[in-house]
Every structure is written in C-alpha cells, then in structure tokens.
Structure 1
Amino acid sequence: MRTWDSDSEVEEEEDRSPLLGEQDVAQGNIQYRIPDKVPACCSARYNLAVLALFGFFMLYALRVNLSVALVDMVNSTSSQQVNSSASVCPDHSASPQVPRNTTGKKYDWDADTQGWILCSFFFGYILTQIPGGHIAGRFGGKLLLGFGILGTAIFTLLTPLAADLGAGYLIAVRALEGFGEGVTFPAMHAMWSSWAPPLERSRLLSLSYAGCQLGTVVSLPVSGLICYYLDWIYVFYIFGALGVVWFILWFFLVSDTPQSHRTISDSEKEYILSTLKHELSKDTDVPICAILKSMPLWAIVVAHFSYNWTFYTLLTLLPTYMKEILRFNVQENGFLSALPYFGCWLCMIITGYVADLMREKFNFSTVAVRKIFNTFGMVGPAVFLLAAGYTGCNYTLAVVFLTLSTTIGGFSMSGYNINHLDIAPSFAGLLLGITNTFGTIPGMVGPVIGKALTHDNTVAQWQVVFYIAAAINIFGAIFFAIFASGSVQDWAVGTKKAQRS
C-alpha cells in the first residue's frame, strides 16, 4: 500500500502524472490509498492483452502477406527492367533442393501497378480512423475491432478471385480490407482506456500491439513457403480462415469494460476502476477545438507520421529489396524479411516492461519516459537504415543493419504510441484515430514513391529511398521531444486546473 499525507510527497508524486487521485492531491493535502496490485497471471486484463495480441497478429498477417505473394504473382519480365548496372548485386542464392511449385497464375503488372496495389489498402484504411475512434469511445471497441478483422479476413479470402478479374478489382478489394482494419487500433485504444491501470499501461499495450510484429514475423516466411511449395492463392485462403477463427474467440471471451466482464474477480475490478477513476472525463461532449489546438497531440501526430514512413516503407518494399538488390530467392526472402520484425517484437515486450519500471520504481516522470523511448525508437532506426544503404552487396551486413533498424523502432511503442492514453484517456480512441489518419498517409504514398524511385533497382536508387525515410524519422523525433506532454490535458477532464508534465 502507498499513502500520501504531506506536501513534499504530493509534489514528488505529481511529477509522475497521471496516477490515481493526482487531480485531488494537486488541489490539497488529501490522503488516499492505491489498492494492492492484482497479480497478472490469469487476470482479465492480461487475458485481454493476449487475445488482442493474437488479434493484431491476424491483422498484420492479413495485411503483409500480399507483399510476399505479389513477388510470386507477377511475371518477372514485366515486374522489372533489365539492368546491367554494376550497382546491382550478383545472384548469390543457392539453388533450392526441392523443386518449387510453378503452377500459380502470373499477371503482367508493371512496377507502377504493383505500387498502387500495395498502397491501395491505405486508401480504405485512412477513411475509418477517426469515425472508428469516435464510435469506440461512445459505444465500446469490442465489436468494432472484432468485425473490422473479420471483414478483412473475408476480403482476404476473395483476393485470388479479385486478382483474376484484374488489377483494378484487386486494388478495390485491398481498399475494402483497409476500410475494415482502419477501426481496429482506435477501438483497441478505447478499450485500454477502461482496462489499463496507468502504471501497467506500457506493458499491457506493448503486449497487445506486439501482435503486429509477431504477425509480420510469421506471415512473411510462411507466405514465402506457401508460395514456394503450394501456390500463392493459398496464402490468402489460409490466413483468411484463421482470421475467422480468431473472431469467434474474441466475440465470446472479451468484454468492453471491467464492469461488463463475466468472470473478472472483484479485487481486479476494484483495482482497475480505482486507478482510472480520476483520469476519465464524465462529459460526453468532445472538445473538438481544444483537441485541435493541443500541441501535445500534434507532437504525437508528427511522430506517428514520421515513424510510419520508415515502417511502411520497409513493410511493403523489403521483400522487393531482398529479391532485386540482395538477390535472395523466395524462401530466403520470406525468412529474412521477417527477421527485423522478430527483433521489433522482442524489443516492444522488453521496453514496455522497462518503461513501466522506470515510472513505478525509479520515479521517472511520464513525459521523460515517453521522450526517452521515442527518441531511441526513431533516431536509431534512421541511423541503421542509412547504414544499410551503404553496405553494397555485403548481404550479411545489410540484413544486420535492416534488422537493427526495425528492432530499435520497438522503443517507440513506449513513446508516442501510448502517449494518447497519457494526455486524454477518455478520448484515447478518438485521438489515435486522428493521429493514425496522418500516420496512414505514408502507407498511401510511400510504396508509390518507393517504386517510382527504384525502377532500375540499383543500390543508388534504394539509397535515396532510405535517405528520405531517415530524414523524416529524425524530424519526428525532434518535434516530439520538444512538444510532447505526459499529463492529462485540461480539456480531457473538464477542469481548468493545469497539471505538471
């Protein structure tokens, strides 16, 4: 148990905002208690995190499998120009011992068409971010998130048919997949605003959103194996079916809030509700003007946009880089493209725990933790991405630098990505919808720009792609370090009383 009953102790704890009762403490010398922490094992909040992890696993498995399958769907003669430049690395891949399947259909899509196919997902994705956040904040995120992933799974099952009908149909189906996935992150943030105690926030959100990296880790190599030994169409059939299975589990095992959960213990319910009761606003009106004027929110917007530029550039184009520059075959491509995201998954889990530990045990302020982790998570990837562009044909070093670039990006989960819940828990879903709308723009334009800049697939052309991503990342890190906050904002709790950050 912790108690506070002196002005000096109030001052010390206020700097770690937001914590239980901080607003009441800041207004006077009030003594209160934080209830004993309920163990994580078998708790409802950690069960939610694990189910969410598998949900975001499916979300990204359904999103990224096209990046690998597309390499196998396109005729090699139409997918690239013959290039005699010495800047292109020689083919080094060993000949596979098992003959690959060659019966899959091939399509004559040029590089520009492939770029539009890869980015079309984000044209639907951007439309449902803000509406998804608003709806989840008012009515709950469980069904919104569940049906979002279910819709994506169904359209994934229809992908082979759409490809057969033509590139336009495939682009339309991918846009509809994005439309369904667009509500998922805002819905999950809205759920965590009711489920995540402040001092467990980093680890719970890191655990659930680490499913994105895990889905990428599994989907990329497995998609490569399916393409190699079976047919690229089974990539979409297998992952689509798994998405439907996940939805059934989510529908029956998850609740929007601790109050509506059927099996949560009374002690855990009391613990969660007690730690959150002074953070959540009772007002139903959304303070739109105050939100749009909030510099801490714009700090998250800029950081989100900047980080996603590098993330989506690698997510959609790394398999192409592995094939056309580093000359790996389809089996190697899937495994090596997944390696960076395995590192990021581990980094997110570890740093989420460390971030909470810094706040709880070492009295770091919330804003200090967010800025430290965000700076590491954005500057580090920029440095190693640039380094990867100058490895030439040193395959080992290139893979190491690309892996480090994406791995270190996992620090940012405890930086800008969780900061919505710090500054406005009541509107976390809506805020994530706003920032993710801007964060989706790189996914829309990044693949198109990347493909346009790498028509000849030379090392020099890819260096330009990496330079652009690194510069944007560094700018986002600096902007967040200057303007970010760790306090619940006045407009988020309906009070004029300012809080320290």
Structure 2
Amino acid sequence: MPLPNGCSIISAPADETEDTEALVENAVPPKCCSVRLNLAFLMFLGFCVVYALRVNFSVAMVAMVNTTVPKPAQNGSKSNVCPLPSGTTNNSDGFQYPEGMPQYPWDSETQGWLLGAFFFGYLCTQIPGGYLSGHYGGRIFMGLGVLGTAILTLFTPLAAQMGSRWLFALRALEGFGEGTTFPAMMALWSRWAPPLERSSLLTLAGSGSNFGAFLALPLTAYICQTLGWPAVFYICGGAGCLWSVFWFSLVSDDPRTHRRISPEERDYIINSIGPQGTGHGLSLPLLSILLSVQLWVIIITQMCANWSYYTLLTSLPTYMDNILHFDLKSNGILSALPYLGGWLVAVLSGLLADYLIGRKVFSLTVVRKLFTVTGLLSAAGFLIAVDFVGCSHILTITFLTLSITTGATSAAGVFINQIDIAPRYSGMLLGITNTFGTIPGVLAPIVTGYFTTDHTLQGWRKVFWVSGAISIFGALIFTFFATSKIETWAVTEDEREEAEGDCSGLISA
C-alpha cells in the first residue's frame, strides 16, 4: 500500500526536487569566486582545449589536401555547383599557402575516414573512464585525457607525412586519450555540484566545447594562412600541455580534500549532495543499469542529438569550401559562428533551468524535457531549412548558425539527465551514454563522405535531411519516455535507511 509523501520501503523519493527544498531556506555561500565556480571555469578551459584539438583537423584538412575544387558532373552540367560568394573573382586563387607546405591527394572518402578516425578511439575509453572516475575520482582521468591528447597532437604533421593510415591511427589514439574527459567531468560534479546548481555549473563547464570550436575554427584558418597547417597542431598541442599544469595544481577530487575551500562552502556542498556525493565501490549493479529504461532513453536521445552536431562539427568546413566556395579565412570564421551562439545559449539555458527548478515553476522532469525537445526540434528545423535555400550564401549561413545555436538548449536537458537519475553512478552512466553517443561521430563523417563523393548540392541535401529526421526521432523518444527520478538501484544504504525510518514514523502516527 502506498504511504504518505510518496514513501516506499523499496523506492527512492518521488522527485529529487523534494529532497532539496530545505536547501533553498538555508544560507548558500556565494557562487562568485567560489571553488566550485573555479572548477567549472577550469573545466570550461579544458573543454575549449579538447574541442580545439578535435576540430582543428577539419579546417586544416582544407589546406592539407591538394585539391578541394568540386568536379563537374560527367555530363558537363554545372547545375549542382553554387556560384562564388559575392565579391569573389577566383576561389582557387583566393588563398595562398605558405611555401613548402606539404599537401596530400586524399579523395572524399579518405577524408571522411580521417575525420571519423578520432571517434574510433573515443569509443573505447568512455565506459572504463566513467567507471574508474566514479570509484577513484575524476581529476586524474580528465587531466591525463587532455594531456595525452595534446601530446599526440604534436605528432600530427609527422603522421600525415608517413601516410593516411598512420594519420588515421594517430587520430584514433587521440580519441582514445580524450574519451575519459566527459565521464570524468560528470564524476567530479557528482561530488561537487549542489542539486540546485547542477544545470548552471555543468552547462558552464561543458560549454567549453562550443567555445573551443568557436575559437579553433577561425584561428586554425589564420594559422594555416600565416604559419602553415603544421603549426596548428604544435600550438594546440602546446596549449593542452599548459592547461594540464593548472589543472593538476588546483583541482581536487572532493570538497573534503580541497586545500583552499572555505568551511562554509565545503559544508554546503557536502550537506546538499548528501550520501550521493561519494564514490561508488568496485562492484556495480550492472544488470540493473543495463535494464534501466531511462538509461536507454538517454542513450537513444543522445545519439540522435549528436548525429547532426557531429555532422556539422566535422564536415561544415568542407561544405563551406566545396559547395559555398568560401576561401579558407572566411571558411574558418563562418564555420565558427554557430558555436559562439551555441556557447551562449548553453550557458543561459543552464541558468534558466536552475531558476525554474529552484522556483518550482516546473518539476525536474518537465525542465529536462522542455530543454531537450526545444533543442532537438529547433536544430532539426533549421538544418532541414538549409535544403530549401539553394545556393543563398546568407540564408545558408543563417540557418546553419541557428541550428547549432538553438540546439544547445539540450545542454540543460538530456546531457545532464544521468546525474539526475543516479548521481553517484553518473560518471559510469555518462561513459555508457557517451559511448553510444559517439557512434554518430564515427558514422556521420563516413556517411557524409559517401553522400558527397561528387561534391554536389544534392548530396549535401541528403546529409541535412537525414540529420534533421534523426533529431526529430530523438525528441519524440525523450518526450514520451524520459524521467528525472532517482533510480531504485542508485539509492544508497543511508538514503534507504532514512526513507525506511521516515515511513515507519508515518505508519506509527
């Protein structure tokens, strides 16, 4: 028989928002200049570096390949080729490479495989990274993930000179190193983020990915133009090594062990998170995790959201070059615009989500659904709209920018949902969901390469239609099946005993 206030001997509280109501009434240490905000900012910088290391290759490839001029159709028709941008007289001569820069004869399919190579390695370390971070703490695994990827990036020019297979292997190894970063981030926040600040802290930290892409795309183009494409990988790799020095010097796995945190902030974080703010043991409820319906809802939705994101992340510079015929400098700037909007919207979405949860405007589940569905549907709509504007450079850039910008609202939705349903296992869950979510990173560039072998506008229309349809499917799945209730298997023994005590008191009364 159900008990008052949603009590059950075998279930978790009905909604985590109820567990945090008392926190609103207590004094909250200011977030400004706090250790938890500093941690979010360091993570932000870390993901800036991570995504710079990830996307610089997609722009540098335009300079690395010795021919990217679209081939006319075999029947001699050029109906599929867009005109040059206004004011451009000769696209092929619009950019002069520094003398002595090597170039390689990679066809469209080879480029697709090289762009997807990173994600082959990225798939392998998500789950191990999440498990180890959840047990031992995420500091070491995030730090080594960035540092290892940065060191490997320094060898990119050498690998390219040795051949495409060597470069494919190097990019896969970079993904292998970077695969631990996001699960480690989630494991850290399970110990550091108070429930009523999760959305803002996590979106600030994770938005570094969009901001890193925004910085890397135009800077890569500029460096290619002035110093040559090999310098891109030396500079980005060096930045990652420098960041790791600050990370290992300033970050701690737990507020209990941080040397510079104030007692007020430490107590606030520990008391607000409660027993969920501790690492899990060596053994995990694997069967319960794998049979969790909510986990599979997150997996499917995240895969759908990532398909269009990774399609644009890896292939947008190629589209700007082959179809719209922007020179390399304009290519880098215009390819970066969507990620500036995505960064801003992600941060604002996190703040708004925390406001709605803290003010009890909507339940936690409704907030997660609202932001996820808004992001996926708007991203799909603007992406599909690109197919209807033909060769209009202005409208194409506008819709592509709006697709990634509005899609960033999902940052306060599905991408945080795993810490809602199982805080202490969130690193492991993110490892699982990100493993599946990385599959689009492997497949999308390859599919794009096959669709666009002839460099035609029709081929790219297929790319955008497929991406939009997949996003819509993900929005429907999350709308009908998602929840933010803590899973039964994720409840700690302390919480279970407390719930049993509360319910026993109600029965006696």
Q: 2:119 aligns with which of 118, 122, 133?
A: 122
Aligned residues of 2:191 and 2:278 also touching (Cα < 8 A): no
Alignment of 1:243-254 (within 5 A): 243-254=240-251
Q: Pairwise CA RMSD of aligned residues?
A: 2.2
Instruction: Give the corresponding residue for 1:448.
Output: 446
Q: Does 1:192 align with 2:186?
A: no
CA–CA separation in structure 2 for the residues paired with 1:415 and 1:451:
31
Instruction: Give the corresponding residue for 1:69.
Output: 60
Q: 2:234 aligns with which of 232, 237, 243?
A: 237
Q: 1:94 aligns with which of 88, 93, 97?
A: 88
Instruction: Give the corresponding residue for 2:378.
Output: 380
Instruction: Give the corresponding residue for 2:324.
Output: 326
State the Cα distance separating 1:391 from its structure 2 match.
1.0
CA–CA separation in structure 2 for the residues paired with 1:150 and 1:142:
12
Aligned residues of 2:334 and 2:397 also touching (Cα < 8 A): yes
Alignment of 1:127-138 (within 5 A): 127-138=124-135
Q: 1:389 aligns with which of 383, 387, 390?
A: 387
Q: Does 1:113 align with 2:110?
A: yes
**2:388 corresponds to which letter in structure 1?**
Y
Identical-pair percentage: 47
Q: Does 1:299 align with 2:297?
A: yes
Alignment of 1:100-179 (within 5 A): 100-179=97-176
Aligned residues of 2:15 and 2:486 also touching (Cα < 8 A): no
Instruction: Give the corresponding residue for 1:183.
Output: 180
Instruction: Give the corresponding residue for 1:398.
Output: 396
Instruction: Give the corresponding residue for 2:334.
Output: 336
**Residues 57-91 of structure 1, C-alpha deviations (whole Å, 9 max, x = no match):** 000000000000001100116x7534443121012
Q: 2:407 aligns with which of 399, 406, 409?
A: 409
State the Cα distance separating 1:482 from its structure 2 match.
1.3
Instruction: Give the corresponding residue for 1:81.
Output: 71
TM-score by length of 2: 0.90
CA–CA separation in structure 2 for the residues paired with 1:131 and 1:380:
34
Q: 2:35 aligns with which of 34, 44, 51?
A: 44
CA–CA separation in structure 2 for the residues paired with 1:270 and 1:477:
39
**1:149 corresponds to which letter in structure 2?**
V
CA–CA separation in structure 2 for the residues paired with 1:304 and 1:121:
19
Q: The residue matched to 2:284 in structure 1 has which SS?
A: coil
The change in CA–CA distance for 1:364 and 1:460 in structure 2 (over 3 A counts) is same
**Residues 402-425 of structure 1, C-alpha deviations (whole Å, 9 max, x = no match):** 000000111101110000110000
Q: The residue matched to 1:199 in structure 2 has which SS?
A: helix
State the Cα distance separating 1:321 from its structure 2 match.
0.6
Q: The residue matched to 2:105 in structure 1 has which SS?
A: coil
Instruction: Give the corresponding residue for 1:473.
Output: 471
Instruction: Give the corresponding residue for 1:4.
Output: none
CA–CA separation in structure 1 for the residues paired with 2:398 and 2:369:
26
**What runs of 5+ residues in structure 2 fail to find an aligned partner?**
8-12, 501-509
CA–CA separation in structure 1 for the residues paired with 2:369 and 2:206:
19
Q: How many pairs align?
A: 480
State the Cα distance separating 1:326 from its structure 2 match.
1.1
Q: Does 1:225 align with 2:222?
A: yes
Instruction: Give the corresponding residue for 1:358.
Output: 356
Alignment of 1:276-291 (within 5 A): 276-280=273-277, 284=281, 285-291=283-289
CA–CA separation in structure 2 for the residues paired with 1:219 and 1:283:
37
The change in CA–CA distance for 1:20 and 1:170 in structure 2 (over 3 A counts) is same
**1:449 corresponds to which letter in structure 2?**
V
**1:463 corresponds to which letter in structure 2?**
R
Aligned residues of 2:24 and 2:358 also touching (Cα < 8 A): no
Stretch moving more, 309-318 or 358-367: 358-367
CA–CA separation in structure 2 for the residues paired with 1:391 and 1:323:
17
The change in CA–CA distance for 1:354 and 1:85 in structure 2 (over 3 A counts) is same
Aligned residues of 2:134 and 2:280 also touching (Cα < 8 A): no
Instruction: Give the corresponding residue for 1:17.
Output: 16
TM-score by length of 1: 0.92
Stretch moving more, 280-289 or 94-103: 94-103
**1:86 corresponds to which letter in structure 2?**
S
